[in-house]
């Protein structure tokens, strides 16, 4: 299974840990603008770098350019964000999973743009799991159906939110607070801070889009 990790240029302290990805063989790293420098500083050679690189100094830009042969530089005036361009590049590797980091903790418009891009791309490519990760959280959208959620000691807490419309017939199993055929309405916080019991939990629903967030205490 190919996993593509896209690192954007948000605050460095918000990045996810790269250690687990570095231990895997089939992982591709893409740097979006300053995110390419972040990868290099972590000892990771990006497979590709994308962006207008307006956030880099001349010296940083020269350094980044020496670390990969696959580089795409765009004009500052463009319709797509650097993160969008990197996500589109990620699909060329035919991945099963795309992890996006470096989009939280800084400018809220950049974060909102990233969430909307992940939502749109998840609907367009349902066979590819898209996630936003930082040092303490993992976010992804779920479509109707049944989803098995493996337990993870790092991400202890599990929350579900309705996105755009209520979620219908929500059944939660193997979690601390189980439900059967309930609704997650827009604006509710009732489905926050659940916990998986055992090796895995599950959520199933018939209608709506679910925003799932897993968090560290």
Q: How far apart are CA 165 and CA 81, in angstroms?
A: 27
* Structural domains present in the chain: 3-135 (3.40.50.10240), 140-215 (3.40.50.10240)
Name 99's bridge partners. 5, 131
The pLDDT confidence band at residue 55, using thresholds 50, 70 and 90, is confident
Q: How many CB atoms lie within 10 A of CB 166?
A: 15
68-78 pLDDT, tens per residue? Answer: 777 766 556 56
Of 148, 201, 155, 211, nearest to 179 (Cα)? 201
CA distance 117 to 132: 11
Reduced to 3 states (helix: H, G, I; strand: E, B; else coil), residue 190 is coil
Q: What's the pLDDT at 58?
A: 84
Average pLDDT, the chain: 90
Closest C-alpha to 49, from 66, 72, 28, 26: 72
With beta carbons less than 8 A apart as the criterion, state whether 46 and 102 touch: no
Neighbours of 54 (CB within 10 A): 12
Closest CA to 210 of 160, 146, 168: 160
What average pLDDT score do residues 90-99 get?
95
């Amino acid at each position: 299974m190919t996993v593509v990790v896209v690192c954007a240029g948000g605050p460095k302290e918000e990045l996810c840990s790269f250690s687990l990805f570095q231990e895997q063989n089939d992982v591709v790293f893409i740097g979006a603008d300053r995110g390419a420098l972040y990868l290099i500083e972590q000892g990771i050679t990006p497979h590709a770098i994308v962006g207008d690189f307006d956030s880099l100094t001349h010296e940083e830009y020269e350094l980044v350019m020496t670390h990969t042969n696959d580089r795409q530089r765009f004009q500052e005036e463009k319709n797509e964000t650097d993160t969008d361009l990197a996500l589109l590049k990620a699909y060329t590797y035919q991945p099963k999973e795309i992890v996006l980091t470096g989009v939280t903790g800084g400018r809220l418009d950049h974060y909102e743009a990233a969430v909307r891009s992940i939502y749109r791309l998840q609907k367009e490519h349902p066979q590819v799991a898209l996630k936003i990760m930082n040092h303490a959280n993992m976010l992804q959208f779920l479509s109707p159906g049944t989803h098995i959620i493996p337990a993870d000691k790092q991400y202890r807490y599990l929350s579900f939110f309705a996105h755009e419309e209520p979620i219908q017939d929500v059944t939660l199993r193997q979690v601390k607070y189980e439900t059967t055929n309930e609704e997650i309405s827009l604006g509710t916080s009732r489905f926050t801070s659940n916990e998986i019991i055992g090796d895995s939990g599950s959520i199933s629903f018939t209608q709506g889009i679910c925003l799932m967030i897993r968090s560290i205490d």
